[in-house]
């Protein structure tokens, strides 16, 4: 990976795609060494940890680990049918129904029985070192003092399905996190301590490149040196589920954010006495209904809620607690009766959405968990008591810090559609439905901090790290002190990164500026009282493919009721006017402005431009792209993007078995010049980095010809669009020789809901099968 500076100050991480690097996988090119911290995410390696044989009996296989918590039951069962998981099953099915009914989104969504569907699979996608989480002090999990001081390790899984004889397969927008103590229990091994575990992670990360996936998997599980060698189901602490409960497309989204998706977060903790996984409180996720009165409350109930709120505010105002909030290590006591057992985060929009902020700065005192005056008084008292704040300076900083300690605030900040680690797709996954980067920009930007903590822990035998040493960055941006570590990336002040508007810098501790040497300036894409003064770094005085094209205002009528209104550019409808697009475009090409709000248009028009605009929307803050893969600038690459008929095709999947995901992506996509991405040069907020098409200099011409032949002869295009395929339409020209010669295997930035596996809607219902007497759980590898 090398950095190249182009005219205008643009800086891009570019893979050296010829010569030695030609042997690298697309995945390994996408994540430079500087961002490879204490985690395992290479899909080729992960697959071997999970499913190395046809029996799918890998050491980190989900069913195998769950079976350890139910050793007296017969192996081979779906873990969610085990008695230990009874509460998980009932809770998830009830939650999905409740949330969808409340949102009016009950049709065509994720099957509420997906946990036990016979066609479902649970696939490992990553192993994450979280030894930085040693500030969690839950005394009820039965861990020793040494284990509590060593942090955690997370195994991340994705749900998938394969039905209709494997013709219909996809992952689902659901992640499951199995959490273990980083230090194994003495029932698993007595031969290691916390420093040893930390050193194992460091040794693994320092091994030279060139190992095969088989060698890497063997090293990770090696009893003598492997960091994952002692992961054992008997140590499983809790299960964390993050599920897209529903999604509304642009055409049915009345908020004008371009779409609306809700993510349901649940945690289930192992109860060693009852031998069950039970619903657990969410760390620092305040249940607003427990501290704020509603119109239906009696005086007695309201008085009790007010009492809880005052107790919470008193606790948050203590100098020692204020210091922990400053460091990002807050832990609200479970016995206060204010924590939620489930949370719902909303995408897109991040912290512009009031529903993602438990400590929202409300319009009226009746909707406010903690007021500005209470925060200001607490900060003054803390300073008087000798607390030296490192991360907060203003009331606004403090409120942001509070919100980011919650599940909803964290999961919707610099994330990927509600996830921070959805995982990369396995090698056999069709590129049209595959994710390139396993982690979010927040995840990669946090790796230098996590690596530093693991390094420190490897040198300490007994003394725990201080809160300052464990301090976390704001979710939106890595700590400035790691800027030099990340200099060769765009993660700190680079394109698409978070920044603070210049006028607000004197009042805040968040000194987030854009990199002037790259020609970037801080611009607010959304203005609102919910996340004031936060902007996005974009080019000044020039245009780049991928740039936002819209500015808008978010107004909140009440908690959770947010509405977007565009303020620029002015247009008679929802489209981006051609007059605001850059000029001139590359020879033989044309710029196009994708927009956020839904535009109906006329898909039966014979005018190419008018037809292309019909039934469009869903690009947060708009996005500049090129209509063809001709004359592409360095920040752009060629990709296939959804076009006329795509959503109609997706709509047929549920009822017509002759249509598959592959049908929709093969017949209803068009070439376009799109923003390229990798871990060092991530997408903007609310976009995802997906797999490239895979065209190479040796295959590009044949791949183009094969696609053209398919479209000319396929019946699907005619059936859906009610017209024959037209090779003269936008996006049907062959990628030019210059792009083909690049062998450009960078990913593509597109809205996540254009990727089928990130939509809870549109997936076909599983066939109604009568399970056998002893329900079997297939451990076989998914065909997605």
pLDDT tens digits, residue range 7-23? 334 443 333 323 333 33
260 occurs within a structural domain: yes
More confident residue, 71 or 384: 384
Which neighbouring-strand residues pair with 594?
623
CB atoms within 10 A of CB 35: 25
pLDDT digits 0-9 by tens, 421-467 = 999 998 778 787 899 999 999 999 999 999 999 999 999 876 778 88
Taking the whole predicted model, whether its pTM rises above 0.75 is answered as: yes
Higher pLDDT, 76 or 48: 48
- Distance from chain centroid for Cα 566: 26
Q: What element of type H or E holds 642?
A: strand 636-642
pLDDT score at 245: 96
748 neighbors 674 (Cβ within 8 angstroms): yes
Give 153: exposed, middle or buried? Use CB within 10 Å, 0-12, 13-18, 19+.
Answer: buried
First to last CA, the chain: 29
379 in a domain, yes or no? no
What's the token pair of residue 677? 């991405």
Element (H, E) at 469: helix 467-470
**Apex CA 408: angle with CA 405 and CA 410, to 5°?**
50
Beta bridge partners of 562: 556
pLDDT of 658 higher than 80 = yes
Q: Which of 99-113, 630-644, 652-666 reaches the highest mean pLDDT? A: 630-644
Is residue 243 a contact partner of residue 263, using CB atoms and an 8 Å limit? yes
C-alpha–C-alpha distance, residues 295 and 362, integer Å: 17
Q: How many CB atoms are closer than 10 A to CB 170?
A: 26
With a cut of 80, say whether residue 156 has pLDDT above it: yes
pLDDT for residue 162: 79
Q: Can you tell me the mean pLDDT for 164-170?
A: 75
- 229: its two tokens: 């060698």
Question: Percent helix, strand and coil across the chain, each rounded to 5?
Answer: 35, 20, 50
Longest CA span, the chain: 77
Q: What's residue 590's pLDDT?
A: 97
CA 667/CA 687 separation, integer angstroms: 23
Query: Average pLDDT, stretch 494-506?
Result: 97
- Is 108 part of a structural domain of the chain? yes
Compare 163 and 105 and report the one with higher pLDDT.
105
Identify the bridge partners of residue 591 per DSSP, sorted by sequence position.
626
Q: Token pair for residue 593?
A: 């402005």
What's the half-sphere exposure (Cβ side, CA atoms, 13 Å) at 283?
15
Find all residues with CB under 8 Å of 728, minimum gap 6, and list them.
608
Integer CA distances (angstroms), 615 to 126, 601, 645, in order: 37, 6, 9
Q: Tell me which range, 55-59, 74-78, 338-342, 456-460, is most confidently predicted by mean pLDDT.
A: 338-342
Q: Let me know the angle formed at the C-alpha of 577 by 571 and 579, rounded to the nearest 5 degrees.
A: 120
- Number of neighbours of residue 21 by Cβ within 10 angstroms: 15
Binned at pLDDT 50, 70 and 90, residue 26 comes out as confident
pLDDT at 205: 94
Dihedral angle over CA of 757, 683, 410, 150, nearest 10: 90
Whether residue 426 lies inside any domain: the answer is no
The whole-number pLDDT of residue 399 equals 97
Give me the half-sphere count of Cα atoms (radius 13 Å) on the Cβ side of residue 191: 7
Average pLDDT over residues 562-579: 96
Nearest to 306, CA basis, from 315, 318, 316, 294: 294
Task: Give the mean pLDDT of 265-289.
Answer: 95
Sign of the torsion formed by the C-alpha atoms of 232, 236, 240 and 243: positive
Q: Which residues contact 768 (CB under 8 A, 6 or more apart)?
A: none
pLDDT digits (tens, 9 = 90+) for 209-249: 889 999 999 999 999 999 999 999 999 999 999 999 999 99
Unique residue bearing structure tokens 């936060």: 534
**Number of structural domains the chain divides into:** 1
Whole-number percent of the chain with pLDDT over 90:
77
Is residue 20 within 8 A of residue 683, CB to CB? The reply is: no
In a domain, 464, yes or no: no
Calpha distance 563→260 (Å, rounded): 11
- Residues 704 and 710: beta-carbon distance below 8 Å: no
Per the structure block, which two tokens stand in for 569?
Answer: 């550019």
Cα dihedral sign, 61-62-67-69: positive
Separation between Cα atoms, residue 583 and residue 591, nearest integer Å: 8
| 683 token code pair | 């997408």
Burial level of 681, CB count in 10 A (0-12/13-18/19+)? buried
Calpha distance 466→474 (Å, rounded): 18
- Residues 449/67, Cβ–Cβ less than 8 Å: no
Three-state secondary-structure class, residue 306: helix
Q: How far apart are CA 129 and CA 457, in angstroms?
A: 12
The neighbour count for residue 765, using CB atoms within 10 Å, is 12
Give pLDDT, residue 1.
38
pLDDT value, residue 768: 63
Contacts of 491 (CB under 8 A, 6+ apart): 441, 444, 445, 477, 478, 497, 680, 682
Q: Indicate the average pLDDT of the chain.
A: 90
| Dist CA 743 CA 694 (whole Å) | 9
Mean pLDDT score, 655-661: 89
What integer pLDDT is reported at residue 379 of this predicted model? 98
* Within a domain: 186: yes
Q: Does residue 557 sit within a domain?
A: no
Lowest mean pLDDT, pick from 426-435, 592-601, 607-616: 426-435
CA 97 to each of CA 22, 113, 521: distance values in angstroms, whole numbers, following the listed order: 49, 11, 45
The two structure tokens encoding residue 367: 């909707």
What percent of the chain is predicted at pLDDT more than 70? Answer: 93
- Grouping H, G, I as helix, E, B as strand and the rest as coil, residue 183 is coil
For residues 374 and 380, give the distance between their C-alpha atoms in angstroms, rounded to a whole number. 10
The pLDDT, as a whole number, for residue 103 is: 93
Look at residue 208 and tell me if it is in a domain. Answer: yes
Domain containing 260 equals 31-158+177-280
Q: Is 60 exceeded by the pLDDT of residue 392? A: yes
**pLDDT score of 777:** 45
In this structure, of 237-251, 274-288, 643-657, the range with the lowest mean pLDDT score is 643-657
pLDDT of 670 over the 70 cut? yes
> Facing residues of 127 across strands?
40, 155
Mean pLDDT value across residues 40-45: 95
Instruction: State the DSSP string of 196-244.
Output: HHHHHHHHHHTSPS---HHHHHHHHH-TTT-TTTT--GGG--EEEEEEE
Contact (Cβ atoms closer than 8 angstroms) between residue 163 and residue 764 = yes
Dihedral sign (CA 96, 350, 528, 751)? negative
């Amino acid at each position: 990976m090398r950095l190249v500076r182009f005219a205008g100050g643009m800086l891009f991480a570019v893979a050296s795609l010829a010569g030695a690097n030609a042997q690298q996988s697309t995945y390994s090119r996408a994540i430079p060494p500087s961002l490879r911290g204490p985690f395992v995410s290479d899909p080729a390696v992960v697959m071997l940890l999970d499913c190395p044989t046809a029996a799918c009996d890998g050491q980190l296989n989900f069913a195998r680990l769950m079976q350890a918590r139910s050793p007296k039951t017969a192996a081979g069962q779906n873990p969610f049918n085990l008695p230990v998981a009874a509460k998980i099953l009932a809770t998830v099915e009830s939650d999905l129904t409740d949330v969808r009914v409340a949102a009016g989104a009950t049709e065509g969504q994720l099957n509420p029985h997906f946990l036990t569907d016979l066609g479902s699979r649970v696939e490992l996608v990553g192993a994450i070192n979280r030894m930085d989480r040693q500030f969690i002090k839950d005394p009820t999990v039965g861990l020793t003092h040494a284990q509590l001081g060593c942090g955690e390790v997370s195994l991340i899984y994705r749900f998938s399905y394969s039905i209709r004889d494997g013709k219909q397969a996809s992952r689902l927008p659901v992640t499951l996190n199995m959490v273990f103590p980083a230090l194994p229990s003495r029932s698993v091994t007595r031969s290691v301590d916390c420093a040893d575990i930390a050193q194992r992670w460091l040794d693994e990360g320092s091994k030279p490149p060139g190992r095969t996936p088989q060698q890497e998997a063997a090293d990770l599980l090696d009893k003598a040196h492997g960091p994952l060698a002692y992961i054992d189901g008997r140590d499983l602490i809790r299960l964390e589920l993050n599920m897209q409960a529903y999604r509304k497309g642009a055409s049915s989204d009345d908020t004008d954010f371009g779409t609306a998706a809700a993510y349901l977060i649940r945690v289930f903790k192992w109860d060693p006495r009852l031998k069950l996984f039970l619903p657990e409180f969410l760390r620092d996720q305040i249940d607003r209904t427990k501290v704020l009165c509603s119109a239906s409350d009696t005086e007695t109930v309201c008085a009790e809620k007010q009492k809880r709120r005052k107790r919470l505010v008193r606790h948050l105002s203590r100098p020692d607690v204020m210091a922990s909030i400053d460091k990002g290590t807050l832990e609200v006591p479970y016995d206060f009766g204010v924590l939620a057992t489930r949370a719902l985060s909303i995408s897109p929009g991040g912290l512009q959405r009031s529903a993602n902020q438990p400590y929202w700065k409300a319009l009226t005192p009746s909707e406010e968990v903690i007021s500005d005056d209470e925060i200001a008084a607490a900060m003054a008292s803390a300073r008087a008591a000798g607390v030296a704040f490192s991360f907060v300076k203003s009331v606004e900083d403090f409120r942001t810090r509070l919100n980011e300690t919650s599940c909803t605030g964290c999961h919707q900040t610099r994330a990927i559609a509600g996830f921070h680690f959805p995982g990369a797709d396995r090698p056999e996954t069709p590129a049209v439905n595959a994710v390139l980067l396993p982690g979010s920009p927040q995840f990669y930007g946090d790796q230098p901090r996590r690596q530093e903590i693991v390094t420190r822990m490897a040198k300490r035998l007994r003394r725990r790290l201080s809160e300052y040493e464990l301090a976390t960055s704001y979710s939106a941006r890595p700590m400035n002190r790691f800027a030099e570590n990340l200099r060769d990336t765009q993660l700190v002040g680079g394109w698409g990164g978070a920044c603070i508007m210049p006028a607000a810098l004197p009042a805040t501790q968040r000194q987030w500026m854009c990199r002037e040497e790259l020609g970037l300036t801080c611009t607010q894409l959304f203005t609102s009282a919910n996340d004031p003064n936060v902007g996005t770094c974009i080019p000044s005085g020039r245009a780049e493919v991928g740039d936002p094209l819209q500015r808008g205002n978010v107004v909140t009528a009440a908690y959770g009721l947010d509405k977007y209104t565009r303020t620029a550019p002015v247009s008679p409808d929802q489209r981006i006017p051609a007059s605001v697009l850059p000029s001139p475009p590359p020879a033989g090409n044309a710029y196009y402005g994708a927009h956020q709000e839904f535009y109906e248009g006329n898909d039966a028009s014979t005018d190419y431009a008018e037809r292309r605009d019909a039934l469009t929307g869903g690009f947060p803050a708009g996005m500049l792209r090129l209509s063809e893969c001709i004359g592409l600038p360095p920040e752009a690459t060629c990709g296939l993007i959804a076009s006329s008929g795509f959503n109609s095709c997706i709509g047929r999947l549920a009822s017509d078995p002759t249509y598959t995901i592959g049908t929709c992506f093969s017949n209803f996509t068009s070439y376009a010049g799109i923003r390229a991405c990798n871990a060092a040069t991530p997408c903007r907020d609310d976009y995802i980095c997906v797999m490239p098409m895979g065209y190479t200099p040796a295959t590009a011409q044949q791949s183009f010809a094969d696609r053209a032949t398919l479209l000319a002869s396929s019946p699907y295009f005619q059936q859906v669009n009610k017209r024959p395929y037209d090779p003269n339409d936008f996006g049907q020209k062959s990628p030019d020789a210059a792009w083909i010669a690049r062998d450009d295997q960078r990913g593509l930035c597109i809205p996540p809901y254009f990727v089928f596996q990130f939509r809870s809607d549109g997936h076909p219902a599983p066939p109604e099968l009568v399970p056998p007497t002893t329900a079997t759980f297939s451990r076989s590898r998914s065909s997605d």
